[in-house]
Amino acid sequence: MAVMGLGRSGQATARALRHGGARVLVWDDAPAKREEATAQGWEVTDLTALDWRDVACLVWSPGIPHTYPAPHPVAKAARAAGVAPVCDVELLMQTRPSARCIGVTGTNGKSTTTALIAHILASAGFPVAAGGNLGLPVLAFPPLEDDGFYVIELSSYQLELTLSLALDGGVLLNITPDHLGRHGGMAGYVAAKSRLFDGLKPGGTAVVGADDDASSALGARLQERGLNVIPISARPPFGVHGQPFGVHGTTEGLLVDEASGAPVADLVPALALPGRHNAQNAAAAAATLRALGLAPTLIAAGLQSFPGLAHRQERIAVIDDVRYVNDSKATNTEAAEKALGCYDPQTVYWIAGGQAKEGGITALAPLFPRIRHAFLIGEAAPALARTLEGKVPFTLCGTLSVAVAQAHTMAVRERRSGAVVLLSPACASWDQFDSFEHRGTVFRELVTALPGQRTGERAGEKEICAS
C-alpha cells in the first residue's frame, strides 16, 4: 500500500495499514516530512519512480492537488498503471460496510454541523465517532457496535476520492464559490459536492440546504431522481419548487418541522449556535436525526447543550473591556461575513489575511462600516489593502503577532463601547501556519500573553451575535 502525504490523515492511514499487516510505502513532497518519517522507521519511497505493479492501493491525502490545476506526477503515474487514488474515507467504507454513517458537507458550517450531530447522538446515549475533514482522522475511529454512528465531515477533496461511500444520511448545507482551482471551476466543485448523494444507501435521507441557488437546484435534481430529500432553510419564505421544507430555523429562534407545523426546539437557549447560519446548521442536524428516528425531545436537549467548537466565534478573553474572538475557521469571505455581521458599526478591529481565496474580500463591502481598523497579515495582505483603500483604515502587519499587538494597543487606547479584536481571516492559513487550528491556537496564545485587566472571561466561551 502506498500513502501519499504525511499530514494528520496520512500518518493515521499509514499506522492503520501497518497495523492491518500491509507493507506501507510513504511519501511526501516536503523534505522535512520525509526526514521525519524516515527517523520514525517508515519505508519512505519516491512514488514518482515506483513500479506500480507492486502496489494494491494508493491512499491520497486530500489536501494535495491531484488533478487540477495540473495532474500531480504521482497521481498521473498511478492512474496510468490502473491504480486510482483514494482517500482514507474509502478505506473506512470498505472495512466497515455495515456501519451506520452520516456524511456532512458544504462550503461553510460542516464542522459545526458534524460536531452538533455527534453531540446530540452522544447525549442521547449512542456510541459515536466523529471526524474526517476536521478532528479525528477516520482511520483512527474506534470500532462501533451496531447501535453506533460514524459522523463524517467530508470536504469536496475527500468526496472525489471516495468511491464506495455508503451513508444512512447525507447533509449538504450550502455551496458558494471555493476551491475552484482544485476542481476546474464552479461546475467541478458542485459535481464534487453532489457525490455525497451518490453514496446514499437505499432508503437513506438527503438533507439539503435551500438558502443558496446551487444547493437549491441540486436538491430539486435529487427529488427528480426519486431520493428522499428534506430541504432545510433558515430564511423565510419557506418552500422550494412547491415542496415544503422538512425543518427550518427562524429569526425568532424556533426550529419548526414545516411539513407538520410542529416545533422541534427553541434555539434561544442554545448559546453556542448564534446567528441565522447556525439556525441552518441546527435545522440540518435536527432533520437528519428525525429521519433516523431520534425523538424530538432528545434532539432539542442536544441542541441546547451543545458547547460549540474551537476557532469558531470563540471568545478568548475580555481585556480592559475589549473582547478577543478567535474565528480562525473563517477561511473564506462567506464565513468572515457571518462573523463581521455580529458586531455594531465601528467596533471591529479586524485581523484578516493569509493565503488568498478566489474573489478576495470584495463581497464583504456591505460590512466595511462595522470595521474600525483592519490589521492585515500574510500573502494576501497587499491585495486586501487595495480592496480596503479609501473605505477602511488598515495597517499592513505581516504576521499575526504584530497584528494582535497593534490591534490591542489601538483598541485599548480608543476604548470604544463594544470593541472586539476579531481574528476572522477570510483566507486560508497555509502561508504561515500548518492549519487554521494552528493559526487559532497561536492567536489564543498571543491574547493570553497580553497585559491588562481581564473581566467576564470564560475560556472557550462562544461569542453571541448581536444581530
Taking alpha carbons only, the member of 73, 22, 63 closest to residue 43 is: 22
89 contacts 156 by C-beta, under 8 angstroms: no
Regarding beta strands 58-60 and 85-86, do their DSSP bridges make them parallel or antiparallel, or are they unpaired? parallel
Contact 359, 333 (CB under 8 A): yes
**Catalytic member of 179, 277, 373, 462:** 179
Grid coordinates 438533507 are at which residue?
A: 207
3-class state of residue 410 by DSSP: helix
DSSP state at residue 454? B
The catalytic residue among 66, 110, 193, 462 is 110
- Annotate 27-53 with b (16+ C-beta within 10 A) or e (fewer): bbeeeebbeebeeeebebbebeebebe
Find out whether 411 and 322 touch, Cβ atoms under 8 Å: yes
Question: How distant is the alpha carbon of residue 136 from its chain centre?
Answer: 13
> Which of 33, 119, 133, 408 is the catalytic position?
133
Give which of 388, 405, 391, 411 is closest to 442, Cα–Cα.
405
Q: Where are the alpha helices (DSSP H) in 6-136?
A: 8-19, 31-39, 73-80, 88-95, 110-123
Rounded CA separation 90/87 (Å): 6
CA terminus-to-terminus distance, the chain = 52
C-alpha cell at position 23? 507493507
**Consecutive H or E run containing 43:** strand 43-44
- The whole-angstrom separation of Cα 47 and Cα 58 is 10
Contact 220, 240 (CB under 8 A): yes
Is residue 133 part of the annotated active site? The answer reads yes
Q: Return d(Cα 423, Cα 411) in angstroms, integer.
A: 14
Query: Exposed, middle or buried: residue 209 (CB in 10 Å: 0-12, 13-18, 19+)?
Result: buried
Residue 72 annotated among the catalytic residues of the structure = no
> For this structure, is 183 an active site residue?
no
Alpha helices in 348-453 (DSSP H): 381-388, 400-414, 436-448
Which sequence positions are flagged as catalytic? 110, 133, 179
